[in-house]
Chains A and B, each alone.
Chain A
Amino acid sequence: MFKRRTVGDVTFETVSVIFMIFFCITTLYPFLYLVGLSLSSADASTIGYSILPQGFSLENYAKVLENSDIGVGFKNAIIKTIIGSAVNVVGAIIAAYPLSKKYFPHRSMWTGLIVFTMFFSGGLVPSYLLVKRLGLLESMWALILPGAISTYNMIIMRNFFMSLPESLEEAAKIDGANDFVVLIKVVIPTSMAIIATITLWSLVGHWNSWFDALIYITNPDKQLLQIVMRRIVLEGTVQMLNPNAADYTSKPVNSENIKAATIMITTLPIIAVYPFLQKYFVKGVMIGSLKG
């Protein structure tokens, strides 16, 4: 195809490239600044806009990792994320599979009752009282069970199951397999793409969740990394609230570096798996928007 590139086109492209570069800088700058801050040594002045560390050192990370709350929080967060995601995936499958079958009795009633919960809920206080009443306060299960089945994920999974050819199931059933065997041996292996997507959604969701831990967990030995980090960083803001301008310079400078290192430690697990995440997440959005 012949393409005549006019002056207007070239200008347009140049402007969009410049805009995109500016956009990327704006997106990345806060992270890079924090990385620089977290790698700066305690005695160097860190006030400035540079993303380069002032006097490179890893002592901030060493100090943060020495803090037992961070270590415990990291461990708790990993355990909760793995168990919680496993529960989410199994939950989505066992809810979606029966509802994907046309012959499942009262299918539309069950679907309706479930979808209704997406739009109407008891709210904060009743949910809190329920968890308390079930004796789940201070337990990891308070962070896993109330969200065990995500209705949104369930619907996406159900739509995927419904798109599978019925012949798959029929062939297995002629061979004498029951529904359970069909699900494990035939349906799940053919649905790995959607299962992988939902697994990743759950992993990220659990790693990033913090509000339930804030209200259900007070014991420091059970606390999650996100909350520990929040305390370390926000305790600083309480001091900064003082409007007295003279206070601005009296704060010990290295506390900023420590906070930055804490934030980076909470962020790193996500960044480490990010390229992988991004691919599956985008796929998932497509599936969701096409059929949702």
Chain B
Amino acid sequence: MKAGVKEKPKTTLYKRLSLDKYVKHKYLTLMFIPVIIYYAVFAYAPMYGIIIAFKDYSFAKGIWGSDWVGMDNFVRIFEGRSFFQVFWNTIIISFYKLITGFPAPIFFAILLNELRCTWFKKSVQTISYLPYFLSWVVLGGIFIQILSPSSGPISYIFKMLGKQPIYFLGDVKWFRSVLVVTSLWKGVGWGSIIYLAAIAGIDTQLYEAATMDGAGKLKQIIYVTLPSLVPVITIMFIFAMGGIINDDFDQIFNLYNEAVYSVGDVISTYNYRIGLISNEYGYSTAVGLFKTVISFVLIILTNYIAKRYNEYGIW
């Protein structure tokens, strides 16, 4: 680049675009062409499709040919009561999941680390990761059976105790709790991996010094383990906050039903229904764009904060 300014007469477009370098590394270029095509078609072409959000999409006229409606679809988002409810559900469910699902893996990792018996520790770890490997379709099926008011074991216990069985998945009072608990159940073990790695990296001399000073296990956790984990916890928390608008489509879609839409319907499930079931393409794309923009801003913001805090940003 610097040389280009001095030797201006020599610089051709060919050189300025470093096309000579692409030719020089022709095998790398050849390898990379399919990659460019992939991202152009499957990532950037749908971004062009976002203009549907500003149109009244009609199948006959296509994306470009459909009539422009300006901000009508966005006006509908902010005027409609249904979207407000969905937005609120998304935030409140994420918030509940955050306050339970965020600290749980930390405590789990700390307790796991204190186990002295290696085979027991390994077995607990192996068992705890298991739910992570199964899709929400499978887990949804399992929980529907477990929570069934007619044949499930939980309602059986309720009946034994002489209480009325509860239809957890169909009751607006219980549905969010089910989401939070099942999400916790699925994620605790897996989420603990990063903390276990961080704990393994703590200098053992710190523990020895604490033992010398007469600190028991509990005090060692409070004065050595937890303070050493603060950097990891902070970073994980910043990123968790950044994801507050991201709902778990797979989980909710496989557990919810019409009876609990008022408390369980979130942006992604709502977007799916209006987009691909009711075929309101323009409105659905607008809702999608609204969410993508918020999520994008949150990610930029949290990454910025994380970088200010220390050097571990995502990029």
Contacts and interface: CB of A to CB of B under 8 A. Distances in A.
A50 to B, nearest CB: 8
A270 B142 contact: no
Interface stretch (A62-70, A78-86, A189-197, A272-280): A272-280
Contacts of B254: 230, 234
B170 A230 contact: no
B150 A251 contact: yes
Contacts of B272: 124
Nearest to A208: B135
Contacts of B134: 208, 267, 270
A171 interface: no
Chain B, interface SS category: helix
Interface residues of B, number: 99
Nearest to B259: A241
Interface of A: 1, 3, 6, 8-9, 12-13, 16-17, 19-20, 23-24, 26-28, 30-31, 33-34, 37, 46-49, 91, 94-95, 97-98, 101, 103-106, 110, 113-115, 117, 119-130, 134, 145-146, 148-149, 178-180, 183, 204, 207-211, 215, 226-227, 229-230, 233-234, 236-238, 240-241, 243, 247-249, 251, 253, 256, 259-260, 262-263, 266-267, 270, 274-275, 277-278, 281-282, 285-286, 289, 292
Sorted nearest first, the 5 A-B pairs with minimum C-beta distance are A122-B46, A126-B49, A123-B288, A49-B153, A208-B135
7 contacts: A17-B115, A19-B111, A117-B39, A122-B50, A123-B50, A148-B38, A274-B130
Interface of B: 18, 21-22, 25, 27-32, 34-36, 38-39, 41-50, 52, 63, 108, 111-112, 114-116, 120, 123-124, 126-131, 133-135, 137-138, 140-146, 148-151, 153-154, 156-157, 165, 167, 169-170, 185, 188-189, 193-194, 197, 208, 211, 216-218, 249-250, 253-254, 257-259, 271-272, 275-276, 281, 284-285, 288-289, 292, 295-296, 299, 314-315
Given A27-B131, A105-B21, A126-B46, 18 more contacts: A12-B114, A13-B114, A17-B120, A24-B127, A30-B146, A46-B151, A120-B296, A121-B292, A123-B50, A124-B272, A126-B49, A145-B42, A146-B42, A179-B25, A230-B254, A234-B144, A243-B170, A292-B314
